[in-house]
Chains A and B, each alone.
Chain A
Amino acid sequence: MSGHDHGDDGVSRRKVLECMTWAGTGVLWTITGGVPRSLGIIDSAEAATAAAPGMTFLQISDSHVGFDKPANPNALGTLEEAVNKINAMPAKPSFMIHTGDITHLSKAAEFDNADRIISQSKLDVHYVPGEHDFLDEEVKFYRERYGRGTKGAGWYSFDAGGVHFVGLVNVVDLKAGGLGNLGAEQLAWLEDDLRGKSKSTPIVLFAHIPLWTVYPEWGWGTEDGGRALEYVKGFGSVTVLNGHIHQVMQKVEGNVTFHTARSTAFPQPAPGTASSPGPMKVEDTKLRSMLGVASINFKQNEQRLAIIDTPLQG
């Protein structure tokens, strides 16, 4: 298997290990003895076998339902393709998370259309909002649909398969010149939420904007994301999942694995490779290779975690 192998030997558990993968068909991660290790780029056939036992959940992101510009005039159509892909998976995932920008302009019809397509997956979906879902004047559409039982602007936690999941909101109350923002109230809640949890509990944090600093020049990071990461420091296995940047990017730091998912709507350029982070126009035949979904598999007793990105095509 080709590709990307981090430190077979000589990497101590404490040593900070950093790596980025810009894109690929799929990347499989394992955690052995607390050290995450990339097994390399894999195709979806291998991914399906690798992800067999244990708990699997899916991540989709940045559907931007309502977007109709040249980069992808039919964002609803590619979301439906993603859902069809999910329905065709050999093993049904336990549930799905959506990391925001469900809609493009927070319109009622956009939320309706998104719901109609996503519900065809017949999976429980746990949402966090993106900035595009909070554009209506009173920010009521997102909250009425997805905010039930959540705190503040929509944060919450739940447990599944022995893993503690925390959905965070970092798209409100953004300050001029700043990045994404969690805010004091949410951080206090998070600290409290994690208090008393056994350090061996795998933790998954998910939010729209990356909690780590990807590229501040384009606002790709969260001002106070470091505070959230402080609170999960002592845990043996931490996975941080985001959307917002519409491309696969991964980083491993100690026991924390960061991962951003593709969009189902349109690709965005790699940091600094264009004059802005706006939608990237690619050839029609290439678009579907740059959109997709991610599935995450936990094999708890083997201390193993695997993230598999599946593009819509290719």
Chain B
Amino acid sequence: MKTLNRRDFGVAVAAAILLPVTTARADDTNMEVHIDNFVFQPPELTIKVGTTVTWTNRDDIPHTVVSAGKFRSKALDTDDKFTFTFTDAGDYKYFCSLHPHMTGMIKVE
């Protein structure tokens, strides 16, 4: 079990406040993408407007998460996270600017 760092905790609290208590399911507004073995997992994700996606790098090698003109993470070392909240619908193609053969897609409906 991993300890929650302060930033994760903040995200979790914010999500809890925004959702009506009865339907609150963390999955609805917070989605996770993991980087394992130079692959974004899942490579494609369909979410609703307002969802926050958190990428976690589980490799021993740094990676980035970049969607041209939309978002750009710093280099994520092992276990570093990057979060982005999608406020507009659309298809967001993204990639790792260090290993450009790594690509992914977020579909926001």
Interface segment among B3-11, B18-26, B47-55, B94-102: the answer is: B94-102
Contact B74 A177 (CB under 8 A): no
Q: Considering the complex, which residues of chain A in the window 149-206 have a beta carbon less than 8 Å from any beta carbon of chain B? A: 174-179
Q: Considering the complex, which residues of chain B in the window 28-55 have a beta carbon less than 8 Å from any beta carbon of chain A? A: 37-39
- Interface membership of chain A positions 194-237, coded 1 if the CB is closer than 8 angstroms to chain B and 0 otherwise: 00000000000000000000001111000000000000000000
Contact of A179 among B62, B93, B100, B103 (CB under 8 A): B100
Contact B101 A276 (CB under 8 A): no
Per the bound structure, the CA–CA distance linking A137 and B93 in Å amounts to 22
Contact B39 A137 (CB under 8 A): no
Answer yes or no: A58 CB below 8 A from chain B CBs: no
- Interface membership of chain B positions 67-109, coded 1 if the CB is closer than 8 angstroms to chain A and 0 otherwise: 0100000110110000000000000011101111101000000
* A173 closest partner in B (C-beta): B97
Given contacts A135-B75, A217-B101, A105 and B62 within 8 Å (CB-CB): yes
Q: How many residues of B contact A (CB 8 A)?
A: 21
Given contacts A105-B75, A176-B95, A276-B38, A218 and B62 within 8 Å (CB-CB): no
The A/B interface has a contact count, at CB < 8 Å, of 56
* A132 closest partner in B (C-beta): B62
Contact of A176 among B38, B62, B78, B93 (CB under 8 A): B93
CB distance from A182 to the nearest CB of B (A): 14
CB distance from B44 to the nearest CB of A (A): 14
Answer yes or no: B61 CB below 8 A from chain A CBs: yes
* B67 closest partner in A (C-beta): A176
Contact B60 A278 (CB under 8 A): yes
Answer yes or no: A145 CB below 8 A from chain B CBs: no
Contact of B99 among A106, A135, A219 (CB under 8 A): A219
- Interface membership of chain A positions 81-107, coded 1 if the CB is closer than 8 angstroms to chain B and 0 otherwise: 000000000000000000000001110
* B59 closest partner in A (C-beta): A278
Interface centre among A106, A131, A178, A179 (most CB of B within 10 A): A131
Contact A174 B60 (CB under 8 A): no
Interface class of chain A by DSSP: loop
Given contacts A105-B75, A176-B93, A276-B39, A219 and B61 within 8 Å (CB-CB): no
* B37 closest partner in A (C-beta): A276
Contact A175 B61 (CB under 8 A): no
Contact B78 A69 (CB under 8 A): yes
Answer yes or no: A275 CB below 8 A from chain B CBs: yes
Residues on A with C-beta less than 8 A from B95 are 176-177
Residues on A with C-beta less than 8 A from B99 are 219
Answer yes or no: A34 CB below 8 A from chain B CBs: no
Per the bound structure, the CA–CA distance linking A132 and B75 in Å amounts to 9
Contact B100 A175 (CB under 8 A): yes
Residues on B with C-beta less than 8 A from A218 are 38, 101
Answer yes or no: A279 CB below 8 A from chain B CBs: yes
Contact B62 A219 (CB under 8 A): no
Known: A69-B60, A71-B60, A179-B100. 16 other contacts (CB 8 A): A105-B62, A105-B75, A132-B98, A176-B93, A176-B94, A176-B100, A176-B103, A177-B103, A216-B101, A218-B38, A219-B100, A277-B38, A278-B37, A278-B59, A278-B61, A279-B61
